[in-house]
Structure 1
Amino acid sequence: MLHPLNDRRTLNGWALFDWANSAFALVITTAIFPPYFEEMVDPSFTVLGIPFTNSSWFAYLITFSYLVIALLSPLLSGIADAGGRRKWFLQLFTTMGGLGCLSLFFFQGMSTMWLGSLGFVIGLIGFAGGLVFYNSFLPVIATEDRFDRLSARGFAMGYIGSVLLLLLNLAMVQAPGWFGLPEEGTLRIRLAFLTVGLWWLVFAYISLSRLPDDVRVRGNGLGSMAASGWEELRKVWRQMTTYPQAKRFLLAFFCYSAGVQTVIFLASIFAKKELGFETAELIIVVLILQVVAVGGAYLAAKLSEWRGNKFALYFELIIWTAICVLAYFVAGKTQFYFIAGAVGLVMGGVQSLSRSTYAKVIPQSEEGRAARTDTTSWFSFYDVLEKVAIVLGTFIFGFLDALTGSMRLSILILSVFFLLGMVFLSRFRVAQPAEVV
């Protein structure tokens, strides 16, 4: 039985998942854990005779996490469609990510660096691995005219929820006495990791309870479902030749995603290492960024309604390019605050627009939802490309950082990804989903 489209409870439940998992994206990957990691790990060390800086090691952790999930995602998403397990896998990755996040509480220095690294990797794999299944629900629960606004609502709810939790974490860091915590030591920071894990798990399970249940395919073992999954992916790849606009968009998306995601992951370490920001100052910077991002997501949706998705994406990418160039020359904290505000303006917008633009150019026939039964496989292409882009961006960033000892050149090089994205975007137009060009 098909789930009704545009059901209010379902749409709100879907957006609530952004509220749940965005706390990890904000607190763990952006605001608190990166500078904490930089402080707890020696500035330079060797592993198996290979020299690393703490920031290059952190970048490589991101690279490894996304390489793993990029390799697994096509197989898992194919199984999800062939075996009717979209929701099952979303729950699996969510649980794994939440537990990985909770384990970060026990990371307290170089002696436990491997525990901190492993917990971060598991959390990141859980976070990123669930997104392909989460995104694939969009065309299953809503009609196309709702895509832009619903996508923006999800990102906005994510920013609002994560900001609320980050405010609690800021209070714990700045005024630990309010919570009966000691002024000295790392307990008040490590407790923030616990709050994120619990927040993620509790709200995600509420969201999952409101999403359509899986329609299981009986009689198929894991091996046969995997084979069916790969066949689904091959079918989508063959369909790509019939839908050139989807291919053109994905090429542009690959390029600029390498820049967007790398900046988001490594900006706080850059601020602490190059500009001397303290943890409390970084939390304030990220709070400003998040508040601006709420408006930025809706601004992007308004721009797309006014002039179309392509124009709105160009607008976002021009600002991203300027951010990378200005970050190379930034000399003080005040300047960095303005750069962080600009990142907030375009961070949610470019991700929201990308998700909804892709949903518009994947195929849909006159049968409507029947053509959407393989949306997980279609979104797997989108998701895998984003993850490979992150692998490329963070690897280049970490390599240049380890080679030069400075993160500024790494930031500047990221601007090339945005320029390439605009070049490839010039050949793309938003065709009707059923249109064959």
Structure 2
Amino acid sequence: MNTATDLPDHPAPDTPATATDSRALNRIRFGWYINDWANAAFSATVLTVFLGPYLTTVANKAADANGDVHPLGLAIRAGSFFPYTVSFSVLISVAAMLLAGTVADRTGRHKELMCGFAYVGALATMGMFFLDGDRYLLGGGLLVVANIAYAVSVALSYAYLPGLAKPDERDAVSSKGWAYGYAGGGLLLVANLALFENADALGLASGTAVRICLASAGLWWALFTLVPLFRLPSRAGVAPARTGAAADGKPTAGSLRELANTLRGMRRYPKTLLFLGAFLCYNDGIQTVVSQASLYGSEELGMDQTSLVAAVLMVQVVAIGGALLLGRIAHRYGAKKTVLGSLVGWVITLALGYFMPAHQPAWFYALACMIGLVLGGSQALSRSLFSHMIPAGREAEYFSVYKVSDRGTSWMGPLVFGLAYQVTGSYRLAIISLLIFFVIGFVVLAKVPVRRAIEEVGNPVPERL
């Protein structure tokens, strides 16, 4: 069985690491950064840019005279099919993440599970190449499989963070990981934009070009997952593995019991749960803005596919600097204050998006820059903050709960967005309805006593919070 020695132990603050330890840790960190580089292709190319508008177009082809499609016999607007499908996939992924996290912590097979789910998601994404005509159910099914696999894989990758950096280094390491993700996702978007722009010259229909772009995200994801597969240790975190599953030979049954114990045990850490509540609220709003921005831009603001891809590319590029910038600000003023400031930025951004005139690409690009500035930092710092509040040895389990509302796995926001459009027929009212998530998240986060929450779980407290 793997133990904590898979990861080099962090030295005490007054004891410098040896050169060998430093090189080994840097090698592991690089593998972890590249994991973000790999899976960001799915987040950026599939969820954020191409699939929303394209799947909506496919659903419209299958719609009846009233503009409705009928998955499982239910009548819903074709324009609501994509956000509803995202919400449905998340409801299933919640159970999958919690169970996978518990199995990983019990068996010490974090890497094997993480990469296994990554390849399932990559294969489902590559299968989107066959999404044409009116096959909206095929698109919905592939999206459900890919999004569940993505959610589980990323949740397991988060569990590595406590073992990759000392408390005062985690904001910087987490921010760097997000920067790698935006860089990787942005680089693939550049290639996809070039393909889409030159589709006619290459003899490709626009729909075919979109399907190639979707499949390319799966290929990218699969290819670069090889790096963490060979560089990361099997076990995440720094605590020794628990041995109950191995002893009874029934890891799944044992993990179900352990999962129930974990969920009950979380009640012993009410301050950690308070932070989780704040994060699940405001980050649900963030993820809904990210996943529905292309749909809003195409259907409400009249942006063409080229403008949408260019805007998301701007988000990716600006978010690299934004993540690193907010990481530096957090080093000086503390992560909690920096995240609160970023939430104010999100409220301003949503308000401007609501009043934005249609058919004005320059304004849409300005909005993209504002999103990029606050996007990476608010998420990276939230991840590092939460890593301090987790009991040692429970990293994957707790991050599975955290991942319920992270990077494309939100469900409340898409549901509210879809219902708002279902009732009003207006994407502007749908987008402004998301303000409630940021306001509530800000109020709850402001009440979290972060220092006491860290002390409550027995972890060392960083100098600035």
Q: Do the two structures share a fold, i.e. TM-score over 0.5?
A: yes
Residue type of the alignment partner of 1:23: A
Deviating more after overlay: 61-70 vs 322-331: 322-331
Distance in 1 of aligned mates of 2:232 and 2:122:
19
Determine if the alignment matches structure 1 residue 390 to structure 2 residue 410.
yes
Alignment match of 1:145 (pick from 168, 189, 192) = 168
What is the match of residue 114 of structure 1?
Answer: 137
CA apart distance, 1:237? 4.2
TM-score, normalised with respect to structure 2: 0.86
Distance in 1 of aligned mates of 2:273 and 2:288:
23
CA apart distance, 1:235? 4.3
The change in CA–CA distance for 1:171 and 1:389 in structure 2 (over 3 A counts) is: closer
What is the match of residue 344 of structure 1?
Answer: 372
- Aligned ranges 1:53-202 → 2 under 5 Å: 53-110=77-134, 112-176=135-199, 181-202=202-223
Alignment match of 2:345 (pick from 319, 323, 339) = 319
The change in CA–CA distance for 1:34 and 1:235 in structure 2 (over 3 A counts) is: same
Distance in 1 of aligned mates of 2:356 and 2:136:
31
Alignment match of 1:335 (pick from 336, 344, 363) = 363
CA apart distance, 1:261? 0.9
Structure 2 stretches lacking a partner, 5+ long: 10-21, 236-240, 458-465
What is the match of residue 270 of structure 1?
Answer: 296
Deviating more after overlay: 142-151 vs 208-217: 208-217
Whether the 8 Å contact between 2:52 and 2:294 is mirrored in structure 1 is yes
Residue type of the alignment partner of 2:440: L
Q: Deviations over 1:278-303 (max 9, x none)?
A: 11111111111111111111122112
What is the match of residue 321 of structure 2?
Answer: 295
CA apart distance, 1:238? 5.0
CA apart distance, 1:71? 2.0
Q: Deviations over 1:301-343 (max 9, x none)?
A: 1121111111101111001112222222211323222222111
CA apart distance, 1:270? 0.5
Q: Deviations over 1:200-241 (max 9, x none)?
A: 0010122221010257963443xx423432443444445544
Distance in 2 of aligned mates of 1:310 and 1:211:
29
Cα RMSD, aligned residues only: 2.2
Distance in 1 of aligned mates of 2:207 and 2:115:
31
Distance in 1 of aligned mates of 2:130 and 2:385:
41
Whether the 8 Å contact between 1:296 and 1:346 is mirrored in structure 2 is yes
**Corresponding residue SS for 1:213:** coil
Distance in 1 of aligned mates of 2:436 and 2:159:
30
Structure 1 stretches lacking a partner, 5+ long: 364-371
Residue type of the alignment partner of 1:406: S
Distance in 2 of aligned mates of 1:176 and 1:325:
36
**Corresponding residue SS for 2:69:** strand
Residue type of the alignment partner of 1:272: S
Whether the 8 Å contact between 1:78 and 1:232 is mirrored in structure 2 is yes
Q: Deviations over 1:172-223 (max 9, x none)?
A: 1112367xx31435222211122211110010122221010257963443xx
**Corresponding residue SS for 1:304:** helix
Distance in 2 of aligned mates of 1:388 and 1:350:
15
The change in CA–CA distance for 1:35 and 1:46 in structure 2 (over 3 A counts) is: closer
What is the match of residue 427 of structure 1?
Answer: 447
Residue type of the alignment partner of 2:171: D
Distance in 2 of aligned mates of 1:35 and 1:389:
18
CA apart distance, 1:405? 1.2
TM-score, normalised with respect to structure 1: 0.91
Distance in 1 of aligned mates of 2:39 and 2:74:
34
Determine if the alignment matches structure 1 residue 308 to structure 2 residue 329.
no
**Corresponding residue SS for 2:449:** coil
Q: Deviations over 1:44-93 (max 9, x none)?
A: 22315543233310001100111110122212211111222212211221
**Corresponding residue SS for 1:356:** helix
Q: Deviations over 1:102-143 (max 9, x none)?
A: 010011121x22212211221111111211111001113332
Distance in 2 of aligned mates of 1:70 and 1:409:
28
The change in CA–CA distance for 1:173 and 1:212 in structure 2 (over 3 A counts) is: same
**Corresponding residue SS for 2:8:** coil
Residue type of the alignment partner of 2:44: L
Residue type of the alignment partner of 1:360: H
Determine if the alignment matches structure 1 residue 260 to structure 2 residue 286.
yes
Distance in 2 of aligned mates of 1:406 and 1:240:
40
**Corresponding residue SS for 2:451:** coil
Whether the 8 Å contact between 1:361 and 1:431 is mirrored in structure 2 is no
Distance in 1 of aligned mates of 2:54 and 2:454:
49
The change in CA–CA distance for 1:238 and 1:65 in structure 2 (over 3 A counts) is: closer
Whether the 8 Å contact between 1:151 and 1:356 is mirrored in structure 2 is yes
- Aligned ranges 1:226-265 → 2 under 5 Å: 226-265=252-291
Whether the 8 Å contact between 1:152 and 1:298 is mirrored in structure 2 is yes
Whether the 8 Å contact between 1:101 and 1:194 is mirrored in structure 2 is yes
Distance in 1 of aligned mates of 2:126 and 2:339:
36
**Corresponding residue SS for 1:417:** helix
Whether the 8 Å contact between 2:287 and 2:405 is mirrored in structure 1 is no
Residue type of the alignment partner of 1:25: S
What is the match of residue 13 of structure 2?
Answer: none
What is the match of residue 26 of structure 1?
Answer: 44
Alignment match of 1:411 (pick from 427, 431, 436) = 431
Residue type of the alignment partner of 1:278: D
Whether the 8 Å contact between 1:41 and 1:109 is mirrored in structure 2 is no
What is the match of residue 368 of structure 1?
Answer: none
> How many residue pairs are counted as aligned between the two chains?
424
The change in CA–CA distance for 1:170 and 1:185 in structure 2 (over 3 A counts) is: closer
The change in CA–CA distance for 1:49 and 1:227 in structure 2 (over 3 A counts) is: closer
What is the match of residue 463 of structure 2?
Answer: none
